[in-house]
Chains A and B, each alone.
Chain A
Amino acid sequence: MKEQPHRLKWHILFVITIFALAAAVYSASQTINYNWQWHRVLPYIVDTSPVDIIAQGDGSASINNSSLTITYDNGEPDRVISNADTLLVSDGDIIFEGDLLARQESVRMGVLIEGLLTTLEISVISLFFSLFIGLVAALMRISNNPFSKNLSLLYVEVIRGTPLLVQIFIVYFFLGTVFDLERFTAGIVALSVFTGAYVAEILRSGIQSISPGQMEAARSLGMTYPKAMMYVILPQAFKRTLPPMASQLINLIKDSSLVSVISITDLTKAGREVVSGSFATFEVWFTVAALYLLLTSTLSWAIQRIEKRLANNG
């Protein structure tokens, strides 16, 4: 326990450094007279602005027990508004199309949280597809068949040798036009194919790190090659590849920010939109970064849990 005071000193230094960094950021913003307004970000996280209720045609209003009834002149069925928080017309008023009738309090997800959910959705779907593509490509790569081996090699080399941004454009503008893909689908295809190539390499090296004796033992028991893979080799390979797989899947979340270039309103695109509306540039981007960190750290926590559970055996 002699080490303890020594370690405490370093912890204190760490905390001081973090504060110094925060102070540096603050004073840097002072030199350009930046006015921090964190409260401006809040509406983009939780949207509490009231919802306006607008008249859809000409008619007249009648109020009964704080319930507003609009009778339209053109004979359309009456509109009853009973749950409004503030009524902006009085009993007997003549109403014209487009008039503001009432306001309703509401709590909705802000634009940034909607973006976060889009990012999460794209990432989760791409995660499953990339694991599938990666597994198939890895199995093709280690097979003895020159056709599947070369096909897999070509796929991995082409994908790893070109930028993701270019791939997204190619999928969106070329494949998207030819196969009439929605932008959301195009984004998922590009991300899955891209990440799949890296997953394939990780899985391939994982499978090849398992001693050949495992395959021999499985085959000597009468298992077919696919069964031996499924029950003996892959479970061990998956366990070994968890750490590199975790960082690749975290990359997937971060890489998904690039789909904002094809106008998918993910977290990054939402950030760009909010910046132009709120004039709180720094605050918004710091918030966006924090939200990404929330996703990635949740994922890495989850994978660590899996790793711990698997570490108990074997």
Chain B
Amino acid sequence: MVNTYKGHDMVVTANVDKIYPNNCHALKKVTTNIKRGEVVVIIGPSGSGKSTFLRTLNQLETITDGDIIVDGVNMYDDRTNINKLRENVGMVFQSFNLFPHLTVKENVMLAPLKVSKLPKSEVDAEAQTLLKRVGLAEKMDVYPAQLSGGQQQRVAIARALAMKPDMMLFDEPTSALDPEMVGEVLDVMKSLAAEGMTMIVVTHEMGFANEVADRVLFMEDGSLLVDDIPENIFGTVANHPRLQKFLSNIL
């Protein structure tokens, strides 16, 4: 049993198994590691366990077996404070999940105020900077319901960034968006990647994967089948029959 991992890898998973209470075997011996600053894209057919895997990395799902080490901390060690760990891991959801009763700026400010307990003036200034950065300086005081999907997702990214995380998880961040809004969200993600943020992205945007990813993971039926650089995944070389089939269906 590894308790703490003294490396510089951001995430290490070893033989992770997840069986849901309904006996659905969603993850089978998933083993990988993700370096600091790496951008990893996870692809695979529906139901292959992509979301489940992503959600185990901040313990929105617990695992049945195996080990997960995030930033050197074993997630299932009794001494691990999962809330502290989550502060360091931002997450962006397919359905945005903005807090509808708070304004855009309040959404961004809530966690720094209530979790980090930073002074309000500092949090406010930081929220303004973040919202400017995602191009929503004009929308600070409106409620999420008054925003388009693309704008909401950019607020959600700003909200996650407000905790100054070392790693960001994205679960199909553009899948709920109208096609014309996909670009604005991907642009924000690209700029994050360019700044060196560690990112794990579940997406069907193969263009983004090809352009931004350092590595692409292909999952099927709960197993991690392929783990390779985008050139080899999207290249013409037929390296894996199941991946070939998936890509030919999607492209």
Contacts A236-B101, A314-B101, A314-B145; is A220 near B110 (CB within 8 Å)?
Answer: no
Q: Which residues between 211 and 261 of chain A lie within 8 Å of chain B, taking CB atoms?
A: 211, 213-214, 216-224, 227, 231-232, 235-236, 239
Nearest B residue to A310 via CB reads: B101
Residues of chain B lying within 8 A (CB to CB) of residue A211 = 95, 97
Quick check: is B206 within 8 A (CB to CB) of the other chain?
no
Contacts A221-B86, A224-B83; is A314 near B110 (CB within 8 Å)?
Answer: no
Quick check: is A106 within 8 A (CB to CB) of the other chain?
no
Contacts A235-B101, A314-B100, A314-B143; is A222 near B84 (CB within 8 Å)?
Answer: yes
Least CB distance from B88 to A in Å reads 8
Quick check: is B27 within 8 A (CB to CB) of the other chain?
no
Quick check: is A35 within 8 A (CB to CB) of the other chain?
no
Quick check: is B125 within 8 A (CB to CB) of the other chain?
no
Q: Across the interface, do A221 and B159 meet the contact criterion of CB distance under 8 Å?
A: yes
Residues of chain A lying within 8 A (CB to CB) of residue B101 = 235-236, 239, 313-314
Contacts A213-B95, A217-B93, A236-B101; is A223 near B60 (CB within 8 Å)?
Answer: no
Count of CB-CB pairs between chains A and B under 8 Å: 69
Contacts A221-B110, A223-B83; is A214 near B97 (CB within 8 Å)?
Answer: yes
Q: How many positions in chain A have a CB within 8 Å of any CB in the partner chain?
A: 20
Contacting residue for B83 out of A222, A231, A239, CB 8 A: A222
User: Which of A217, A224, A313: most chain B CB closer than 10 A?
Assistant: A217
**Whole-angstrom CA separation of A126 from B6 in the bound complex:** 58
Contact with A along B52-96 (1 / 0, CB 8 A): 000000101000000000000000000000011011111101010
Consensus secondary structure, chain A interface:
helix
Quick check: is B163 within 8 A (CB to CB) of the other chain?
yes
Nearest B residue to A210 via CB reads: B100
Q: Across the interface, do B143 and A313 meet the contact criterion of CB distance under 8 Å?
A: yes
Residues of chain B lying within 8 A (CB to CB) of residue A231 = 110, 114
Residues of chain B lying within 8 A (CB to CB) of residue A235 = 101
Q: Across the interface, do A221 and B115 meet the contact criterion of CB distance under 8 Å?
A: yes
Contacting residue for A223 out of B58, B111, B143, CB 8 A: B111
Residues of chain A lying within 8 A (CB to CB) of residue B100 = 236, 314
Q: Which residues between 195 and 216 of chain A lie within 8 Å of chain B, taking CB atoms?
A: 211, 213-214, 216
User: Which of A213, A218, A221, A223: most chain B CB closer than 10 A?
Assistant: A221
Contacting residue for A222 out of B97, B98, B111, B145, CB 8 A: B111
**Whole-angstrom CA separation of A222 from B111 in the bound complex:** 7
Contacting residue for B93 out of A213, A239, A313, CB 8 A: A213
**Whole-angstrom CA separation of A219 from B55 in the bound complex:** 12
Contacts A213-B97, A216-B97, A217-B97; is A222 near B91 (CB within 8 Å)?
Answer: no
Least CB distance from A67 to B in Å reads 65
Quick check: is B185 within 8 A (CB to CB) of the other chain?
no
Which A positions have Cβ atoms within 8 angstroms of B? 211, 213-214, 216-224, 227, 231-232, 235-236, 239, 313-314
15 A-B pairs with C-beta separation under 8 A: A213-B95, A216-B93, A217-B97, A217-B156, A218-B99, A220-B60, A220-B86, A220-B89, A221-B90, A221-B115, A222-B163, A236-B99, A239-B101, A314-B100, A314-B102
Which B positions have Cβ atoms within 8 angstroms of A? 58, 60, 83-84, 86-91, 93, 95, 97-103, 110-111, 114-115, 143-145, 156, 159-160, 163
Q: A217-B97, A220-B90, A313-B143 are in contact. List 8 more A-B contacts (CB 8 A).
A: A217-B91, A221-B86, A221-B163, A222-B83, A222-B87, A223-B83, A314-B101, A314-B145
